[in-house]
A and B are shown apart, each in its own frame.
Chain A
Amino acid sequence: MSDELDALKSALKAAPAPEAEAKARALALAMKNFDTAQGSPLALRPMEDRPKEAGFLWGVKEMMSSIAKRRWLAASTSAAALAVGVAVFAPHADKGPLPKMVVVAEPEAAEAPKPDRGRAEQDRLVATDKAAGQQEPAGEAVMAQEAEAGITLDDTAMAGLTTRAAPPMTAAAVLDGTMNLSDDLEHAQPLPPSTEAFANAEVNPVKITAEEPVSTFSIDVDTASYAVVRSSLNAGQLPPPEAVRIEEMVNYFPYAYPAPDGTQAFRPTISVMPTPWNAGTRLVHIGIQGAMPAIADRPGLNLVFLIDTSGSMDEPNKLPLLKQSFAMMLEGLRATDQVAIVTYAGSAGTVLPPTNAGNRAEILSALDRLSAGGSTAGAEGIALAYDVAEGMTAQGEVSRVILATDGDFNVGMADPEALKVFIADRRESGTYLSVLGFGRGNLDDATMQALAQNGNGTASYIDTLNEARKVLVDQLVGALYPIANNVKIQVEWNPAEVAEYRLIGYETRALAREDFNNDKVDAGDIGAGTAVTAIYEITAPGSAALLNDPLRYQSGAAQTAGNGELGFLRIRQVVPGQSESVLQETAIGEGAAATPEAQFAVAIAGFGQLLSGAKYTGDWGWDQAIEMALAARGTDDFGYRIEAVNLMRMAQSLSAQP
C-alpha cells in the first residue's frame, strides 16, 4: 500500500516473545478459573468485557467512559468536568425491543472543544466517505465526532451503541450473516489451518534418518518472497522473518543447469559439497531443469487480465506500474494470441473484450483508460474473468487468468476458502491462474500464494519495472506454459551414510509421505525452461556436527554397510493433459562436485537463513555469504545476481544497526 504502512507493519510484526514466567502465571490462573467455572457456571455473555460487571448498563457505561476518555483526550491539559445525566428505561437484554436510552451530555463550557470544530470534522468525514463512494459513514465515527463536539447523542449514535451492546443471539446472527458460517454446532466444520500460519511455518528442523528416512515436498516456483525481501531492504528495513521463504529466494534466479535431452520433461542434477556454514556437514544440491520446447511450437495463448482498480491501487508503484508491465508483456505475445481485460473493485466489468494481441493500439488504449478509484464493489470479477477465458479457449490453446492486485481479493467471493475451491475447480477445466502482487502494506502474500498454488500458477511480486520485465517478458514462456504438473519430490536417505538431514526452505510445501503417490494431492508445476532447486544439509554418522545423541536402547540395531549412495531421489510429475503421474528415479551418489550455479544457489540459501533467524548457520555471516555469491556470480547477463549481492550488503548494514 505504502512504505509508511509497510514500515508500521514490520515494526508491529516485531512483537517481543512473551516471557515464560508471565505465560505460566496466566495459564495457571486460567486453569484455576476453569476449574472454578466448572463448579459454578456464571451467567455469561459472549463478547462483552468484564464478567463481574454484567448487566444491561454495560452499553451506557461504555459510552460514558468513552465520552469521558474522548473529552479527556480533547482537553488533556486540565481536568475537564463532565456532567452527565442518564436515564434508562428498563431494557431486557434477551428479548423485546432494543433498549431505549436518553443521554444528555453537558460539557463544561470553558473546557469544551468548539462545536464547529467537531462539525467541520464530521463534514470532512462525510465528504471523505462520499469521495470514497462508501454507502454510509460508520456509525461509530459519527458518534465519536458528536461526542467530541459536545452534541447530544442522537439516534444514529444510539444505533451504533445498541449494535455493540446487542444480546448474544443478535451478535451471533450478525456473524452468521457476514461469514456464512453455520451456527449449528453439529455442523461446525473444523477449519483448515489458515494460510497465514502456513506462511509463518517454522524452519524445517533437523531430522534423524533412522527415525524419518523419507522427506517429501512439492516443488515451488514462486518468487514473490524474494521480491518482497528486496522491497523491504530497499526501503531500509530488514524484512520480517516470516516473509522469507528460502526456496522462493533460491528459485528466483535463473540457473544454467544441464538441460534435459530427448523426451524428458526435466532433468535433475545432483551435486554434493561441503557446507559453508558447518564444517561437519555437507550440502546436497538438487537442481531440476525443465525442458524448453521450441518456441515456435507453442500453443495459442489466451490471457485474461483481472485487474484490481480499487482506490488503493492509485499509487505510482501499483496501477501505473501494472499498465507499463502489461504493455511490455504484449511485445512477447504473438499477433494471434488473445488478450482480454476484466476489472474488479471500483470500475467493474469487462474493459476489453477478447482482442488479438496484434491489435496493440486497442489493447494499450484500454489499459490507459483504467483508473483506480472508488470503493470495493463486490463485483463478480473472478467469475467473469473465468467465463471470458473459457469463451476464448479453442482446442489446444492455453488459457490463463492473470490477477493483478495490491492485496484486495474482494473479487466477488467473500470467503477465501470458497475462492480457492472455485479456482481449483476451474483448474480442472484447463484455465489456470497466476497472481501478480503490487505495492506494499496491504499485500496479502499468504492469499496470493494460496491462490496461485490452487490455480497451477505462480505468485510474483512486482516492485519495479525491471522485475516486471523479468516476470512478464524474460520468463513469460516459463510462467505461462507448464511442462510438468504436480511435481513432487521425495528423497529417501540412507541411514548408513546420512545420520541427520535438513531440508532448507520448502516449509510451506511439505507433503505427507503417502501423498507422494497420490495424484489427487496437488503440487507445484514446472514451466517451460524454468529451473527448480532444493538443498539439503546432511550429517554423516559419527560426525562431530550431529545434533542428536545416539539412543541408548536403539544403538544395537543392525547398520547396513554404506554402498556409497547417500540417498535416493524420486520425482513424480503429471504430463500436462494426462491424469496419471510418471515417476523418475535417481540415486544420490557422492561423486558430483558443485558447479558455480549450485554455489550461488547455496549462497542465496545462506542469505535467506541469515534473514530468517540463522538457526543453523553458526559463525558464517554476511561477509561469507557475499563472498560466496560474488565468487559464483558467473556471467549474470541480467544483473540479478549482483543485485542479490547488493541486497546482502544492505541487509548486513541494516542488521549491524542496534
Chain B
Amino acid sequence: MLMDTPDETLALAARSGDRAAFGILIGRHYDRVFRLAWRLSGARADAEDLAQDVCAALPAKLAGWRGEARFSTWLYRVVMNAAHDQRRRAAVRSKASDGWGDWEIARQDEISVEAERMDWLKSAMARLSPELRDTAALVLGEELTQAEAGLVLGLSEGTIAWRMSEMKKRLKAMAAEEAGR
C-alpha cells in the first residue's frame, strides 16, 4: 500500500478489513484530528482525549462510511460529533466547561501568564457561542469553505454564512471594547 494512495481508497480497504490501510489512514490523519480538536476545545489535554476517542471509535465508525463524501469531510464530522459529545458530558457533570468557556471563568481569579496571542484567542473564543466556535474552527482554523463546513455540520451554506457574519460582529464588538478600555 503506497503512502500516496488516496484517503478514499484506503478507507474502503480499511473498511473491508485491511489493517495496514487503516494504519496508514489514521497515521495520516491523526495530526489533523488533533488540531481540529484543539481548535474546538482550546486545551491540549482535552484535544488529546478527543483525538484518542475519535481514533478508538474510528474502526467501528468506518463501517458506516460509504464513500459518499470525501473522507476528510466525513472525518471532520466524526470529530465534530465527538467534540459535541465531550461538551455535553462536561455540561452534564455540572461543570460549566464547554471548552473555551472554561477558561474565561478561570481567568476571573488568575492572571494568565500565557503568551498574549493565546490570551487573545482564548478570550475571543470564550466570547463566541459553541456554535460559532465550531464554525470558526472549521472555516478559519481548517480553512474549509462555507459549503464544506455546512456539510460537516449538517447545515446549509447560508447558515454558515450567517454564523460567520455573526462571528465578525461579536469580534468587532470585542475589539471596540478593548479599544475603549
Expressed in whole angstroms, the Cα–Cα distance for A135 and B161 within the complex equals 13
Closest CB-CB distance, B2 to chain A, in whole Å? 12
Identify the 9 closest CB pairs spanning chains A and B, nearest first: A46-B64, A190-B6, A4-B171, A11-B121, A30-B55, A12-B141, A9-B140, A34-B59, A69-B91
Please state if B91 and A65 are interface contacts (CB–CB under 8 Å). Answer: yes
Please state if B19 and A31 are interface contacts (CB–CB under 8 Å). Answer: yes
Please state if A73 and B63 are interface contacts (CB–CB under 8 Å). Answer: no
Interface residue? A360 (CB, 8 A): no
One of B47, B77, B162 near A138 (C-beta < 8 A)? B162
Instruction: Point out the residues of chain A lying under 8 angstroms from B101, CB to CB.
Output: 73
Q: A47-B64, A68-B92 are in contact. Are A312 and B52 (CB under 8 A)?
A: no
Closest CB-CB distance, A553 to chain B, in whole Å? 25
Expressed in whole angstroms, the Cα–Cα distance for A151 and B170 within the complex equals 26
Instruction: Point out the residues of chain B lying under 8 angstroms from A442, CB to CB.
Output: 164
Please state if B87 and A25 are interface contacts (CB–CB under 8 Å). Answer: no
Please state if B98 and A69 are interface contacts (CB–CB under 8 Å). Answer: yes
Closest CB-CB distance, A507 to chain B, in whole Å? 16
Total A-B contacts with CB atoms under 8 angstroms apart: 242
Enumerate 7 A-B pairs (CB-CB under 8 Å) in ascending A order: A2-B172, A4-B172, A13-B140, A15-B35, A31-B19, A49-B82, A375-B158
Interface residue? A144 (CB, 8 A): yes
Expressed in whole angstroms, the Cα–Cα distance for A220 and B145 within the complex equals 25
Please state if A141 and B159 are interface contacts (CB–CB under 8 Å). Answer: yes
Closest CB-CB distance, B101 to chain A, in whole Å? 8
Instruction: Point out the residues of chain B lying under 8 angstroms from A134, CB to CB.
Output: 158, 161-162
Expressed in whole angstroms, the Cα–Cα distance for A311 and B94 within the complex equals 40
One of B63, B81, B91, B158 near A68 (C-beta < 8 A)? B91
Scan B149-177; emit 1 where CB is below 8 A from any A CB, else 0.
01100111111011011011001101100
One of A36, A37, A72, A140 near B96 (C-beta < 8 A)? A72
Instruction: Point out the residues of chain A lying under 8 angstroms from B67, CB to CB.
Output: 183, 185, 188
Q: A5-B140, A11-B117 are in contact. Are A172 and B98 (CB under 8 A)?
A: no
Instruction: Point out the residues of chain A lying under 8 angstroms from B96, CB to CB.
Output: 72-73, 76
Interface residue? A466 (CB, 8 A): no
Instruction: Point out the residues of chain A lying under 8 angstroms from B162, CB to CB.
Output: 128-129, 132, 134, 138, 141
Interface residue? A163 (CB, 8 A): yes
Please state if A31 and B171 are interface contacts (CB–CB under 8 Å). Answer: no
Main secondary structure of the interface of A (DSSP, over half): helix
Please state if B26 and A30 are interface contacts (CB–CB under 8 Å). Answer: yes
- Chain A residue with minimal CB distance to B14? A34
Expressed in whole angstroms, the Cα–Cα distance for A175 and B74 within the complex equals 10
- Chain A residue with minimal CB distance to B10? A190
Residues on A close to B: CB < 8 A?
1-5, 7-9, 11-19, 22-23, 25-27, 29-31, 33-38, 41-42, 44-51, 62, 65-66, 68-69, 72-73, 76, 79, 128-129, 132, 134-135, 138, 140-141, 144, 163-164, 168, 171-172, 174-176, 178-179, 181-183, 185, 188, 190-191, 194, 196, 311-312, 375-376, 409-410, 414, 416, 441-442, 444, 446-447, 657-658
Closest CB-CB distance, A69 to chain B, in whole Å? 4
Please state if B136 and A51 are interface contacts (CB–CB under 8 Å). Answer: no
Closest CB-CB distance, A41 to chain B, in whole Å? 7
Closest CB-CB distance, B132 to chain A, in whole Å? 10
Question: Quick one: which of A22, A42, A144, A375 has the most chain B CB within 10 A?
Answer: A22
Expressed in whole angstroms, the Cα–Cα distance for A47 and B175 within the complex equals 37
B81-106 contacts to A, CB under 8 A, are 81-82, 84-85, 87-88, 91-92, 94, 96, 98, 101
One of B69, B92, B98, B118 near A181 (C-beta < 8 A)? B69
Expressed in whole angstroms, the Cα–Cα distance for A41 and B165 within the complex equals 44
Expressed in whole angstroms, the Cα–Cα distance for A79 and B6 within the complex equals 50
Please state if A138 and B155 are interface contacts (CB–CB under 8 Å). Answer: yes
Closest CB-CB distance, A382 to chain B, in whole Å? 16
B1-36 contacts to A, CB under 8 A, are 5-6, 8-9, 12, 14, 17, 19, 22-23, 26-27, 30-31, 34-35
One of B48, B64, B69 near A179 (C-beta < 8 A)? B69
* Contacts A16-B44, A37-B60, A182-B68 supplied; 18 other A-B pairs, CB < 8 Å: A1-B168, A5-B164, A11-B120, A12-B140, A12-B141, A13-B140, A27-B30, A27-B55, A33-B56, A33-B58, A46-B61, A49-B81, A68-B91, A72-B96, A132-B165, A141-B131, A409-B145, A446-B143
Expressed in whole angstroms, the Cα–Cα distance for A15 and B141 within the complex equals 8
Closest CB-CB distance, B32 to chain A, in whole Å? 10
Expressed in whole angstroms, the Cα–Cα distance for A5 and B166 within the complex equals 11
Please state if A188 and B8 are interface contacts (CB–CB under 8 Å). Answer: yes
Please state if B155 and A8 are interface contacts (CB–CB under 8 Å). Answer: no
One of B8, B48, B164, B171 near A22 (C-beta < 8 A)? B48
Please state if A23 and B168 are interface contacts (CB–CB under 8 Å). Answer: no
Closest CB-CB distance, B158 to chain A, in whole Å? 5
Please state if B64 and A658 are interface contacts (CB–CB under 8 Å). Answer: no
Closest CB-CB distance, B141 to chain A, in whole Å? 4
Please state if A183 and B68 are interface contacts (CB–CB under 8 Å). Answer: yes
Instruction: Point out the residues of chain B lying under 8 angstroms from A168, CB to CB.
Output: 64, 66
Closest CB-CB distance, A42 to chain B, in whole Å? 5
Q: A12-B121, A15-B141, A657-B116 are in contact. Are A66 and B26 (CB under 8 A)?
A: no
Expressed in whole angstroms, the Cα–Cα distance for A12 and B41 within the complex equals 11
Expressed in whole angstroms, the Cα–Cα distance for A31 and B35 within the complex equals 21
- Chain A residue with minimal CB distance to B115? A658
Instruction: Point out the residues of chain B lying under 8 angstroms from A190, CB to CB.
Output: 5-6, 8-9
Expressed in whole angstroms, the Cα–Cα distance for A65 and B85 within the complex equals 10
Please state if A140 and B155 are interface contacts (CB–CB under 8 Å). Answer: yes
Instruction: Point out the residues of chain A lying under 8 angstroms from B55, CB to CB.
Output: 26-27, 29-30, 33
Closest CB-CB distance, B25 to chain A, in whole Å? 9
Instruction: Point out the residues of chain A lying under 8 angstroms from B156, CB to CB.
Output: 138
Instruction: Point out the residues of chain B lying under 8 angstroms from A128, CB to CB.
Output: 162
Expressed in whole angstroms, the Cα–Cα distance for A3 and B14 within the complex equals 43
Instruction: Point out the residues of chain A lying under 8 angstroms from B154, CB to CB.
Output: 163-164, 171, 174
- Chain A residue with minimal CB distance to B5? A190
Q: A12-B121, A34-B19 are in contact. Are A441 and B168 (CB under 8 A)?
A: yes
- Chain A residue with minimal CB distance to B175? A4
One of A31, A312, A409 near B165 (C-beta < 8 A)? A312
Expressed in whole angstroms, the Cα–Cα distance for A223 and B40 within the complex equals 33
Please state if B115 and A175 are interface contacts (CB–CB under 8 Å). Answer: no
- Chain B residue with minimal CB distance to A76? B96
Instruction: Point out the residues of chain B lying under 8 angstroms from A657, CB to CB.
Output: 116
Expressed in whole angstroms, the Cα–Cα distance for A175 and B59 within the complex equals 22
Q: A18-B31, A72-B96 are in contact. Are A8 and B171 (CB under 8 A)?
A: yes
Please state if B31 and A175 are interface contacts (CB–CB under 8 Å). Answer: no
Closest CB-CB distance, A398 to chain B, in whole Å? 31
Expressed in whole angstroms, the Cα–Cα distance for A441 and B143 within the complex equals 10
Expressed in whole angstroms, the Cα–Cα distance for A51 and B81 within the complex equals 12
Please state if B140 and A8 are interface contacts (CB–CB under 8 Å). Answer: yes
- Chain B residue with minimal CB distance to A176? B68
Please state if B52 and A18 are interface contacts (CB–CB under 8 Å). Answer: no
Scan B134-149; emit 1 where CB is below 8 A from any A CB, else 0.
0011001101010100
Expressed in whole angstroms, the Cα–Cα distance for A312 and B26 within the complex equals 37
Closest CB-CB distance, B116 to chain A, in whole Å? 7
Please state if B34 and A144 are interface contacts (CB–CB under 8 Å). Answer: no
Expressed in whole angstroms, the Cα–Cα distance for A171 and B137 within the complex equals 23
- Chain B residue with minimal CB distance to A53? B85
Instruction: Point out the residues of chain B lying under 8 angstroms from A15, CB to CB.
Output: 34-35, 38-39, 141
Please state if A30 and B82 are interface contacts (CB–CB under 8 Å). Answer: no
